[in-house]
């Protein structure tokens, strides 16, 4: 893992020094993170990179995973979709299964820590076993601006008992009796998925994966999830095929806690069948260098999400200086200023229009990518994310003082 000092060229020397000062006030404190999967999805990626940084800074981090069967993850997937605004039918048996699974986890997990970040709905019910002296933060990565009321009412009974809540964007805020803080996610510029690669390294990966590079490549990197709209991406690309020379690549996988991934992948493959310029590639969750190379080899990156908590693939692509066309949902508008650091769309026709335009106007596309990279440098690198978490922890530890003197 990289040392803290190695982030200075990307983040700046002042940022590194600030981290050291803040962490010094938390030296020796234990910080627990709990989520539902160690691989797949942005939360796991961030924790895998952030926790070693905490250790180097003198903090004692731990990471616990809740466990459940397929029926539990089917229920929490319904929670996820419902909080994003997709109507779900949940029964009292579903809610009871959630309670029973969380209780079983409480009986086996070590939840002792000075500070705990509990990520998303899956482990929210662990609050029933919160140590009295600890500070617990519910970290919500979901766009709840159009949430299903009965599901939120159920979860709110847990969330209201936390010491604080963290959301990714102002629009995600809900009425709660606890303070809420905005902390957008981040990317690690030194991770395998984002580090610099030579042209030779990129070419080698593309050859090994048998991805042709004889035409400009338009790529969407995401889990195979209906909320990422892979079928809408395919439809938009088909609309421009008579007018451009290009190839579409849908690449991704599924998270351990997402039971719908295989079905969505099959639907995407069926929609692409018979079209030689549409490729659907499923990669293992450890394919970080491969994703990096694919993004660098692409002319345009898409993230046509219908709902989105944040959409880390947007910042990943912008960091590589690529023009991004993305859905104007969730946290994506925090990353993209329309026609300055990327393109925001709301429809299939709009996505098709901008794909065609950027292919025909490469200078404009290049300028979008350059502006996007600087925006990510200033706002969405891992060092900023860690600073925000440590400041929040320090605030709660200090007795919620309005001013913290470092």
User: What does the pLDDT look like over 223-279, one tens digit per residue?
Assistant: 899 999 999 999 999 999 999 999 999 999 766 556 788 899 999 999 999 999 999
User: Which pLDDT score, from 0 to 100, does residue 364 have?
Assistant: 98
Structural domain contains residue 193: no
Question: What is 42-53 written as a DSSP string?
Answer: HHHHHHHHHHHH
pLDDT at 191 exceeding the cut of 80: yes
Q: Which domain holds residue 264?
A: 199-379
Give 280-297 as a DSSP string: EEE--TT-HHHHHHHHHH
Predicted confidence at residue 286, as pLDDT, reads 87
370 lies in the same domain as 388: no
In the sheet with 115-119, reading across from the earlier edge strand, the strands are 60-65, 30-35, 115-119, 135-139, 164-167, 180-182
Q: Is residue 403 part of a domain?
A: no
Residues 83 and 150 in one domain: yes
Asked if the structure places residue 402 within a domain, the reply is no
- The answer, yes or no, to whether residue 406 has pLDDT greater than 70, is no
Burial readout 99-127 (b: 16 or more C-beta within 10 A, e: otherwise): eebbeebbeebebebbbbbbbbbbbbbbb
At residue 404 the predicted structure's pLDDT band, cuts being 50, 70 and 90, is low
The answer to whether residue 236 is domain-embedded is yes
Q: Is residue 191 part of a domain?
A: no
Confidence of residue 403 (pLDDT cuts 50, 70, 90): low
Q: Which residue has the higher pLDDT, 82 or 256?
A: 82
DSSP state of 4: G
**Same-domain check for residues 204 and 174:** no
Q: Is residue 235 part of a domain?
A: yes
- The pLDDT of residue 260 is 82
Q: How far apart are CA 192 and CA 293, in angstroms?
A: 10
Residue 294 and residue 182 share a domain: no
Contact 190, 292 (CB under 8 A): no
pLDDT in tens, 197-218: 999 999 999 999 999 999 999 9
Distance CA 327, CA 159 (A): 29
Average pLDDT over residues 95-111: 97
Contacts of 275 (CB under 8 A, 6+ apart): 238
Q: How far apart are alpha carbons 39 and 285 in whole angstroms?
A: 6
What is the pLDDT at residue 285?
84
The reply to whether 131 and 53 lie within a common domain is yes
3-state SS class at 33: strand
Q: What is the CATH number of the domain that holds 342?
A: 3.40.50.2000
Residue 45's pLDDT is: 86
Please say if the pLDDT value at position 8 is more than 60: yes
Of 57 and 142, more confident:
57
Above 60 in pLDDT, residue 176?
yes
Q: Where are the beta strands (DSSP E) in 67-125?
A: 115-119
Reported as a single tens digit per residue, the pLDDT across 320-329 is 999 999 999 9
Among the listed ranges 24-28, 207-211, 396-400, which one has the minimum average pLDDT value? 396-400
Q: What per-residue confidence (pLDDT) applies to 28?
A: 94
pTM of the model: 0.89
Return the higher-pLDDT residue of 403 and 225: 225
Euclidean distance between CA atoms 267 and 233, whole angstroms: 12
In a domain, 194, yes or no: no
Residues 268 and 153 in one domain: no
CA 373 to chain centre: 18
DSSP 8-state symbol, 328:
S
């Amino acid at each position: 893992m990289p040392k803290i000092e190695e982030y200075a060229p990307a983040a700046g020397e002042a940022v590194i020094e600030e981290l050291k000062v803040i962490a010094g006030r938390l030296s020796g404190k234990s910080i627990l993170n709990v989520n539902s999967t160690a691989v797949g999805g942005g939360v796991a990626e961030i924790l895998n990179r952030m926790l070693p940084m905490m250790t180097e800074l003198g903090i004692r981090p731990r990471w616990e995973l809740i466990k459940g069967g397929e029926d539990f993850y089917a229920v929490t997937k319904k929670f996820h979709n419902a909080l994003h605004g997709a109507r779900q039918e949940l029964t009292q048996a579903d809610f009871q299964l959630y309670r029973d699974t969380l209780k079983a986890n409480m009986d086996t997990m070590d939840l002792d820590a000075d500070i705990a970040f509990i990520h998303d709905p899956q482990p929210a019910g662990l609050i029933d076993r919160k140590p009295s002296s600890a500070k617990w933060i519910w970290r919500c990565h979901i766009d709840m601006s159009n949430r299903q009321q009965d599901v939120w009412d159920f979860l709110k009974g847990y969330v209201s008992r936390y010491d604080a809540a963290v959301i990714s964007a102002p629009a995600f805020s809900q009425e709660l009796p606890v303070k809420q803080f905005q902390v957008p996610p981040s990317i690690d510029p030194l991770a395998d998925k984002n580090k610099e690669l030579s042209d030779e390294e990129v070419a080698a990966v593309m050859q090994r994966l048998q991805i042709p590079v004889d035409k400009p490549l338009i790529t969407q990197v995401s889990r195979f999830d209906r909320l990422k709209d892979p079928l809408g991406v395919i439809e938009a690309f088909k609309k421009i095929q008579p007018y451009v020379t290009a190839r579409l690549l849908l690449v991704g996988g599924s998270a351990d806690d997402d039971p719908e991934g295989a079905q969505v992948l099959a639907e995407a493959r069926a929609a692409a069948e018979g079209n030689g310029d549409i490729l659907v590639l499923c990669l293992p969750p450890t394919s970080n260098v491969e994703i990096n190379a694919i993004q660098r080899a692409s002319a345009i990156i898409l993230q046509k999400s219908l709902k989105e908590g944040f959409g880390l693939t947007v910042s990943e692509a912008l960091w590589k200086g690529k023009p991004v066309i993305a859905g104007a949902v969730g946290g994506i508008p925090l990353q993209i200023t329309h026609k300055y650091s990327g393109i925001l769309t709301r429809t299939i026709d709009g996505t098709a229009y901008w794909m065609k335009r950027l292919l025909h106007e490469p200078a404009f596309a290049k300028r979008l990518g350059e502006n996007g990279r600087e925006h990510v440098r200033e706002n969405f690198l891992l060092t900023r994310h860690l600073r925000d978490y440590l400041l929040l922890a320090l605030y709660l530890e200090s007795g919620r003082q309005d001013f913290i003197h470092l």
